[in-house]
A and B are shown apart, each in its own frame.
Chain A
Amino acid sequence: MIITLNCFASLKPYTPDGGTLELAEGTTVEAVLTRLGIPQEEIRLIFVNSVHVSPDTVLKDGDRLGIFPPVGGG
């Protein structure tokens, strides 16, 4: 299956080329983060299809995953 992945702000360099990843069925968000080598302590927000989720979420084909470090503004 293929998902879209975007890493933002200071994590932007971890976004894979083309912004997509091919994964085995049943892959979790956590496994993706490990595969990309993103330090866990730098991750604050994980969105799958616009919903805030925990790292143990299982991904599905066509999902859109967004990863953010701690950010704020207003």
Chain B
Amino acid sequence: MDKILRIDVGADGGPALREEPVGDYAGIGGRALTSTIVCKEVPADCHPLGPENKLVIAPGLLSGTAAVTSGRLSVGCKSPLTGGIKEANSGGQGAQVLARLGYAAIVLEGEWNGEDLYKVTITKDGATIETANELKMKTNYQLMEKFQETYGSSGAMLSIGTAGEMRLSNSTVAVTDKEGRPTRHAGRGGVGAVMGSKGVKVILLDGAGTSMRQPVDKEAFSDANKRFNEGLKKHAVTGQGLPTYGTNVLTNVLNEAGGYPTYNFKQGNFPDADKISGETQAELEISRGGVSTHGCHRGCSIQCSGTFLDKDGNYVTKQPEYETVWAHGGNCGICDLDAIATLDYLDDDFGLDTIEMGVTIGVAMEAGLLKFGDADGAIKLVKEVGAGTPLGRILGSGAATAARAYGIEKAPVVKGQGMPAYDPRAVKGIGVTYATSPMGADHTAGYAVATNILKVGGDVDPLSSEGQAALSQNLQIATAAVDSTGMCLFIAFAVLDQPETFQALIDIINGCYGLSLTADDVVALGKSVLEKERDFNARAGFTAADDRLPRYFRREQLPPHNVVFDVPDQELDQVFQW
């Protein structure tokens, strides 16, 4: 990982590829690298779809090595959805293959001619780019059909569906899983639109002939990796809960805690939650011959995913995640797992973020465009987005745009990005993260749900405003560091509870690079990433007023606890004061 591939789509005579040494960007990976490049090279006041913006794709520091669960890919840019800096993070095979090919990052830059679509192919012998206008308006699964033999079992495909090609603010960069399917997505913030604004439809990564990255200190690395893996296996969440039920095990938990946003964040309980719970989903998947334990990339030792088959045993989609089942399910009053799986497939196929899409449909339901619970209506709307009808383009531009178009106040968004599956009034720590994260409303940026609800990494009362700002601060710092390693964020469950597993993680990094980092260095890394992101956003025009939840979360009570969001503004403004 000692080189960066720059693709200037606006070069004289057509797109030009340039490989350069990693140089000043050495020693960082993942989110640290994407945010550093964006912060340094992209003018913060540029239009996200203009020639000055760049799309940066970077594997984590440990990706491509034997480190378990290290296959996360970071995709960064100025976001068309939020207008701020963005790092969208994806599983799948992409990070591992890109790292083994030797790239610390791919940077798409320059001014596109606005017409031609391009296909980039990267093999061990280097990268090529060619015009591929036959791919216009192809969906992600159509691209898979066309290219699966090219990227093969040792490679991966990064692609945009129709949404990214139309440069919709809700559009993803899809990353194929170990079966070669486009089921993993750098989902949030419209990163697909930025790839579309560079005319790049697909990046094929051929892993043939590459080998695993070797650590500097093999013995120390291997010993640490073993201890780390044992830590993941030993912890009840990463070793048992996630593999057995997947992320959707949270439906019943959040519903039981009264923090499950239902009917566009109107109440904290969904009467039909059990019909779409992880327990029900796993049972259904297994009864149809699917699997409920599956990793999104090779080398994952948590295996939180699965495969969803229809009643006749045909593949529909990967196991829909908790966030997806919530966004399209409880948030929209829909309690049909088959309909939700279809929506998940359509989102993957068109390249749509399932959270933003579900939140947008919830807004459309609030606006009276269709009724809560109307699964067929929801499917029809997502198809409109994929096809790019005028209504589809409005809905494909995210929840904030849809709410504006329909003249309603209740858009559950921060910095223009839809809120995930935890109501910030009943899980106040996550409310602080939604409000203050440089990414907009993003649960992964500082997952206070762990401490508020799941009682992992401590116990902070979710219904009290006390201690939430400090909790979110610590988690946002830790997350920014983890997102830079290529490690899946789910390792945090074990790392937060088991100091020896946290130490093993640091030892893996040290063994890999021949360093002697301490826990303090990891904290410093996390802080430096957040400082860069905050600096970019400030230059893009963000102020303290943007670090707030929509006002109605302070005004309207959420049943059953009948609580409002009441963490004081002064505390929100202290989250990044260290």
Stretch at the interface among A4-12, A23-31, A32-40, A55-63: A4-12
Q: How far is the CB of A15 from chain B (nearest CB, A)?
A: 11
1/0 contact trace for B434-456 toward A, CB 8 Å? 00000000011001011001111
Q: Report how far A49 CA is from B236 CA in the complex, Å.
A: 25
B253 near A70: Cβ-Cβ < 8 Å: no
B489 near A70: Cβ-Cβ < 8 Å: no
A52 near B257: Cβ-Cβ < 8 Å: yes
A70 near B249: Cβ-Cβ < 8 Å: no
Contact of B489 among A49, A66, A74 (CB under 8 A): A74
1/0 contact trace for B232-252 toward A, CB 8 Å? 000111101110111111101
A9 near B241: Cβ-Cβ < 8 Å: yes
Known: A45-B455, A50-B561. A72 touches B252 (CB 8 A): no
Q: Chain B residues near A10 (CB, 8 Å)?
A: 240-241, 244
Q: Report how far A50 CA is from B256 CA in the complex, Å.
A: 5
Residues 304 to 325 of chain B near chain A (Cβ within 8 Å): 304, 321-323
Which of A44, A50, A52 neighbours the largest number of chain B CB atoms within 10 Å of its CB?
Answer: A50
B535 contacts A by Cβ under 8 Å: no
A72 near B560: Cβ-Cβ < 8 Å: no
B242 near A73: Cβ-Cβ < 8 Å: yes
Known: A9-B249, A10-B244. A72 touches B256 (CB 8 A): no
B256 near A47: Cβ-Cβ < 8 Å: yes
Known: A69-B236, A73-B250, A74-B247. A9 touches B279 (CB 8 A): yes
Task: Give the interface size bracket for A toward B.
Answer: 20 to 34
Q: Chain B residues near A69 (CB, 8 Å)?
A: 236, 240-241
Q: Closest A-chain residue to B283, C-beta based?
A: A12
Q: Chain A residues near B455 (CB, 8 Å)?
A: 44-45, 52
Q: Chain A residues near B147 (CB, 8 Å)?
A: none
Q: Chain A residues near B252 (CB, 8 Å)?
A: 6, 8-9, 66, 68
B454 near A50: Cβ-Cβ < 8 Å: no
Q: Report how far A49 CA is from B455 CA in the complex, Å.
A: 18
A47 near B237: Cβ-Cβ < 8 Å: no
Contact of B237 among A49, A52, A71 (CB under 8 A): A71
Q: Closest A-chain residue to B254, C-beta based?
A: A73
B253 near A12: Cβ-Cβ < 8 Å: no
B236 near A70: Cβ-Cβ < 8 Å: yes
Q: Report how far A10 CA is from B489 CA in the complex, Å.
A: 23
Which of A52, A69, A71, A74 neighbours the largest number of chain B CB atoms within 10 Å of its CB?
Answer: A74
Contact of A73 among B236, B246, B256, B461 (CB under 8 A): B246
B490 near A72: Cβ-Cβ < 8 Å: yes
Q: Report how far A68 CA is from B323 CA in the complex, Å.
A: 20
Q: Chain A residues near B304 (CB, 8 Å)?
A: 73
B386 contacts A by Cβ under 8 Å: no
Q: Chain A residues near B444 (CB, 8 Å)?
A: 74
A47 near B241: Cβ-Cβ < 8 Å: no
Q: Report how far A57 CA is from B269 CA in the complex, Å.
A: 22
Q: How far is the CB of A13 from chain B (nearest CB, A)?
A: 11
Residues 281 to 331 of chain B near chain A (Cβ within 8 Å): 304, 321-323
New contact pairs (12) apart from A50-B269, A70-B235, A72-B454, CB-CB < 8 Å:
A10-B240, A12-B279, A45-B453, A49-B560, A50-B258, A52-B453, A52-B462, A66-B252, A69-B241, A70-B236, A74-B247, A74-B490
A-B contact pairs, 5 of them (CB 8 A): A9-B249, A71-B241, A72-B241, A73-B278, A74-B490
Listed from nearest, the 9 A-B pairs whose CB atoms lie closest are: A73-B247, A50-B258, A70-B236, A72-B237, A66-B256, A73-B250, A71-B241, A72-B493, A71-B249
